[in-house]
Amino acid sequence: MRKPDAASEARLEAIRRNATEATVEGHGGSYYGLPLLKPTTWTWEVPAYFFVGGAAGAAAVIGFAGRISGADSRLVREARWIAAIGGALSAPLLIADLGRPERFLNMLRVFKPKSPMSVGAWTLVAFGASSAIATLPMEDRRSRLSGQAGLPVLHWVSDSAGAASALTGLVMMTYTGVLLGVTVIPVWTKHAGILPIHFAASSLGSAAALLELRGHRQLAVRRIATTAAVIETVMDAAIEQPNVTARIGSAFAGPIPLALQLLFGRSRKARQAAAVSALLGSLLTRIAWVEAGS
């Protein structure tokens, strides 16, 4: 029979320590390579809404700038109509993406300034309403010639709504970039400081493109299209594009229309090609950036 002594007990203590003192080794710093974050659940309606809402917002801004500059009323009227139609199309797109579309109005039970989704929902409502009202008749040569009584109030309502539509339109153009940037998705947050500019410039390019395709030949429309293409060309160079679609979209939104405008700007066909390119680029860019988060 063995008698426990100090040495034997120390040995047993050492064995016990040996068993518990282990430290575990890592294996590559992940859990079976499974992603930590959830991908976005958004479907095609979201980038489509970004595109339509942005172009509509920019059209409202162009319409307002044209109005206070005394531009041709046909240009102003059509810009306002593009804003109104785009605003009207935006709501169903945004609603269609909801998991519970019938509860869209729950967006309007609170206002949360720190939530870009909340700010966006309220902006869309204000933009949609004001851009629709801004299609009411405004004072122009036609209304002056006909001399209709009682219209000044209508004109005032139309122009006030046009101003409100332009103001909220500026948010429509930019906030979608904020919406992506203020999340936890690394590819979006990394570009939080540039996506609002990228999306705003391509929105402006889209609105100018629509006016070009509607046959508006004012120098202002061409200048705006070129400005947007210049900014988008800078964005194309400055942004590390997340995928192939983004690279293609960026090229269509910036360098391609810019080259067409600068080299063949006198040709109507070339300007129209540039317009189509800008529209396509703006849409592809948004599809690509939403896709990058999924």
Partner 1 sequence: MAHPTTGFFTDSTLCIGCKACEVACKEWNEVPADGFVFGGLSLDNTLGLGHSTWRHVKFVERPVTVGRGGNDPNTMTWQFSSDVCKHCENAGCLEACPTGSIIRTEFGGVYVQPDICNGCGYCVVSCPFGVIDRRPDDGRAFKCTFCYDRQIAGEQPACAKACPTGSILFGDLEALGRVADARIATLHGQGMTDAKIYDPKESSVGGTHAFFLVRGDIADYNLPANPEIPTVHLGKAWGAAAVAAGAIAAASLLAFAFGGRK
Residue type at 149 in one-letter notation: A
Question: DSSP of 52-94, one letter per residue?
Answer: HHHHHHHHHHHHHHHHHTT--HHHHHHHHHHHHHHHHHHHHHH
Q: Mind spelling out the 3-state secondary structure of 99-156?
A: CCHHHHHHHHCCCCCCCHHHHHHHHHHHHHHHHHHCCCCCCCHHHHHHCCCCHHHHHH
183 lines the binding site for partner 1 (CB under 8 A): yes
The contact mask relative to partner 1 for 204-243 (x = CB under 8 A, - = no) is x-------------xxxx-xx--x----------------
CB of residue 147 vs partner 1: minimum separation in angstroms?
25
The contact mask relative to partner 1 for 238-267 (x = CB under 8 A, - = no) is ------------------------------
CA-CA distance, 91 to 221, in Å (whole number)? 27
CA-CA distance, 256 to 10, in Å (whole number)? 80
Closer residue to partner 1, CB minimum distance, 2 or 114 = 114
The b-or-e profile of 167-176 (16+ CB within 10 A means b, else e) is bbbbbbbbbb
- Segment 37 to 56, residues that bind partner 1, using CB under 8 A: 37-38, 40-42
CB-CB neighbours of 32 under 10 Å: 6
Stretch that binds partner 1, among 1-9, 22-30, 124-132, 133-141 (CB under 8 A): 22-30
278 lines the binding site for partner 1 (CB under 8 A): no
7 lines the binding site for partner 1 (CB under 8 A): no
Region of 215 (left: φ > 0; alpha: ψ -120 to 50; beta: rest) is left
Closer residue to partner 1, CB minimum distance, 3 or 100 = 100
Torsion of CA 256, 167, 44, 111, to 10 degrees: 150
Closer residue to partner 1, CB minimum distance, 18 or 146 = 18
- Segment 186 to 205, residues that bind partner 1, using CB under 8 A: 188-189, 192-197, 200-201, 204
- Segment 86 to 145, residues that bind partner 1, using CB under 8 A: 97-101, 103-104, 106-107, 109-110, 112, 114-118, 120-121
- Up-side HSE of residue 62: CA atoms within 13 Å toward CB? 41
Judged by CB under 8 A, the number of residues near partner 1 is 86
CB of residue 282 vs partner 1: minimum separation in angstroms?
14
31 lines the binding site for partner 1 (CB under 8 A): yes
Closer residue to partner 1, CB minimum distance, 96 or 151 = 96
